[in-house]
Amino acid sequence: MHGCFMNFVLPFRNSAGVIPSKDQARTILAKVKEVLELGYAGVAITYSANFQQRNKIRDTYASGQWQTYTQGANQADVMRELEVFLDTMEFEPIRYKVRMAPITTLTYSDFGGKAQREVVEEDFAYLAGLLTAGWAVLGWINDLSSGRYAVGGGVVKLSDEMEERIQRGLADFAKQYPKK
């Protein structure tokens, strides 16, 4: 079974104000359970990561672990809360079936000697690998992303060219890997 890429709207505000990261994480996990029932190998969610986070996340999964200990603001805090839930008995059965799919939007040093475009292409290759392995990928959209993917709009402002490349790439995945 090929995977699928599905748009996933996850607002971080409502009429009462900011939705706590813990509640957003709970919403993600409810969707993960629903999608896993469709028979996918696992569920990943796009995540706007810095280069160092991206490397740690991918290294964690490559080593057979699930807990990345991601720290930071906005989406990072939601991912931290998601891992707190995954560390409970309630979610233990699915902890290895839930992943972040990082899209690299910034770095605090450099991109490992590469151009940002090359790093993003590697991120897309990672996504393609998940999809061909039968994973579902949730393309995170929030209430400020205007129907576009929530990548690079919080802590960092991407160049127009990089913003368009990432948005087009994720939209292409949605077209190539529709939900069956």
CA 100/CA 8 separation, integer angstroms = 14
**pLDDT value of position 155:** 56
pLDDT band at 156 (very low <50, low <70, confident <90, very high): low
- Mean pLDDT computed over 146-172: 82
For the CA atoms of 88, 99, 178, 180, the dihedral, rounded to the nearest 10 degrees, stands at -40
Q: Is the dihedral of CA 171, 80, 43, 24 positive or negative?
A: negative
Virtual torsion, Cα 41, 47, 51, 54, nearest 10 deg = -20
Judging by DSSP bridges, how do beta strands 17-18 and 13-14 pair with one another? antiparallel
pLDDT at 12 over 80: yes
pTM: 0.92
Higher pLDDT, 109 or 164: 164
Angle between helix axes 21-36 and 75-86 (nearest 10 degrees) is 60
How far apart CA 151 and CA 105 sit, in angstroms, is 7
Task: Write the single-letter amino acid at 1.
Answer: M
**49 vs 155, more confident:** 49
Banded pLDDT at 22 (limits 50, 70, 90): very high
Segment 17-40 shows an average pLDDT of 96
Q: Which of 173, 177, 132, 180 is nearest to 151 (CA)?
A: 173
Quote the Cα angle for 137-65-116, to 5°. Answer: 55
Give me the pLDDT at residue 153, please: 62
pLDDT at 109 over 80: no
In percent, the amount of the chain with pLDDT more than 90 equals: 67
Beta-carbon contacts of 109 under 8 Å, excluding residues fewer than 6 positions away, are: 51, 52
* Number of C-beta neighbours around residue 108 at 10 A: 8
